Structure 1
């Protein structure tokens, strides 16, 4: 039932709204999908480019770290081959050790100045009588003893690696360099005798973590975070100092599954590169911060989408107006045609479906108008023929002479009542026939009515009285004959039929602006409301029916139908007949005729 109601409501909508009902949702979906796809594509492209830039940045850092590690290894190899280093770690005499220490100090100091990434260097000899040599960027410094160093994690890792260099993180809790507690990345490597290949000592090179962090994190934007992990997944350096020295599992951004680092959620972007010695460079960047830069694109996408939508709605409204305007014109023309205006022409241009419809409609109206004109002529001719036939059946001169003879005989016998009736009847017939004329003056028509009422008054002396009121200027106007008498006869027969005395009929003819008004009133029994409505509906319609058919359908009788048809034929839709009545009070019939020259 609900579905049927919706279908009915849709079918009752104007064509313009039907077009918009389908077009606007389609337009909205199209514009929305297009705008979303454009933004989605732009977002993915931006994220992809940023990810590529991140990978390039981490690759660059990895390459630099590889370069630093190679330089450190080359540096140790160089020192390994120096005879002064060999003799310092295994001196013959104490004086020789002191001399070599000075020589090494000069060489290493110059090398440290050229290698800005290396902050400090320590040489440990396995011999107890050879003190360690510690040098930093400022010169000779002090360090812990070899026995203390052997207890550290760094020595144990170097021991495991044997010949290969060991990279470890030196934090502030291990005081390798006295007076310098900064976190460092240290390279620990055994130095062997160049002849016997026996271990002579250990070389330790320190790289300042803070300088590395400043070097690689400066310039990072959008809250990006950099992590450098060694081969044990320990944070060597990072943007945030709190993570230095901690394992990757301690960082909430990452999860380490089978040594494969991945993100814990999709809110971050990860770029990862690995160095030759197994270190990892990780760059994290929040997606939200990256997408903030896309807000401008998002806003413009929404603005353009909204503008396209509203422009599409306006355009669809305009198109629907152009399409439905001829149909609206056709509908209005059809309404006026229903109201009786048969001069309607829409005259559509174009040869499309609407143009063909308009051309067919114009042709149909012309044919209907021609057919109605033909019917009017036929009706008029038929009425005139009937009237002339009726007039021809009565020989006027014979009738007048006969009535005159009866009138004079009644006068001779002094029967004035009969004489008056005969005279009134003679005048009634004379005026009603009027020598076959179709139009008579108002005065003649009122004389005919007066004679008719005089005859009826003689029949019912106490039943009714009457009054006729019309100015002399009105009496000269021409109207169709026998227009008022049928109304008076209806008032007498139907209105006053049930009244025994004190009946009254009033006829008033006067002008109102450009119309002539004929009013016939009585104080009779009146008309029922339903029947009165039915009578007025019929009198206002433009449809003509045969009198017998009309009476069967509860419409006016022959007299009223004859009057209204004659008025429509002579004056068209400008003439009107209305009936006013109230049960038990009386009835008033008004005829309005347009005045013309």
Structure 2
């Protein structure tokens, strides 16, 4: 064998070993699995269905036993036993016993879910002829002169006190009414152990209770889960079979207590999972077409068979043609791919550009792509820096007011000379506003400088429009040396005046508060304005969801975030007692000797 292999080329040896240890074993396993998988699938699904049916049946029996226990407890009640053991001769006493019993049943029906309790008693002497019959009310306490005529009487009587399931239309057997599944139980006297006055307790609507306990089986759309009584009548709610319909079981199914069966019926192969309960005398079955279980498998199996045959043929051809020419270059390319990290220099050399090998060309093109990706990452990083600088420059750019500032200075001194002090002060405040706006080109100024700007603006507004509102300044001394973007208070104060307290005169109140909390700085501007502006609407403006209004406050928010990050900025909230509160959240930053900022960790 070794000599035989040594006389073959490497390619032929590879082909032979591939066929012996790959193709033939896979084909053998595939044929074996294909032959047995249908049977295995049927058995596994059948077992699973049977376990599900048995579990469902146990649950149904438990529910029916619970209902019977409730009936037993009800039968022991004083109200029922007083009726069962015979009414007194007084009409008043009979009416009283009936009213108490009817009230108890009404309360029980109110607390029950989907089931209803009724009581029917024999009244041969017509002592309760004044009680409404079944033609007037659907449930409650009834008296009959001929109970034995009821369809359920014989089975309940023979059960001798055990609850039995029975299909009823109504207590009066009115024709044309929809049937209902009921549990009927004969009542005995707890005093003497017999039934001097026969009575029967009936719980109707059992099909609704059982439906809740029947877990759905989503195997196929044609699958059917049915509960049958001893006469093979359907006693569960079903889309395909009405309540009370007769269901013909196949011979091999009808004689078994439980199991999984395959039955051919109606030109279809059906899978049955059946379980019978000796406690309730019912049969729970699930049936589904066999094609619903293995139909897709058969189709897939055929497709896989053809695909595998074609695949192996192509695989052999491809291996013969390309095994030598692909493995090495692809391995080298894979190592290159695994070692590459975006943004870092490449460690592997390029192949010769003269090579006509496609893998070598692919290798070179891949390296070119990585070079371009590195360059793109570098360019993007540079572009983001420039973009941020440009955004800061755009947000901070204002009209150069040097000429206007110098002119205001001249006007101020001229007014002082002329004795017009009040107007001169307004000109000086305006000049101060202009000078703070320039800030010698600085983007960040101290809180103290920003306060000078804000105070000058407020004085201008008070004198210009003759406002009478009050202004409250609460500034912590420890915060005055901290840095803040210039001209952020003025837009907030302007909004508070224009949209809040402009027309309130002396009732208006403008409050500016600046405080430091550890390494955080909080600047609050609030008013008690009577206008109802939702804080949520203002937050939409600040966050940029509404771009047609609010440029000033959005400008403030964006500048703060560009300087200090997205964890800081401007927010709004409703103020107790009316008005709006604007809050600027900044880090506590002190200026350095060269004018730059430095974070204060103290």
Q: TM-score range by the shorter chain?
A: 0.3 to 0.5
Determine which structure has the larger helix proportion and give its number. 1
Q: Which has the larger radius of gyration?
A: 1
What is the TM-score when the length of structure 2 is the normalising length?
0.42
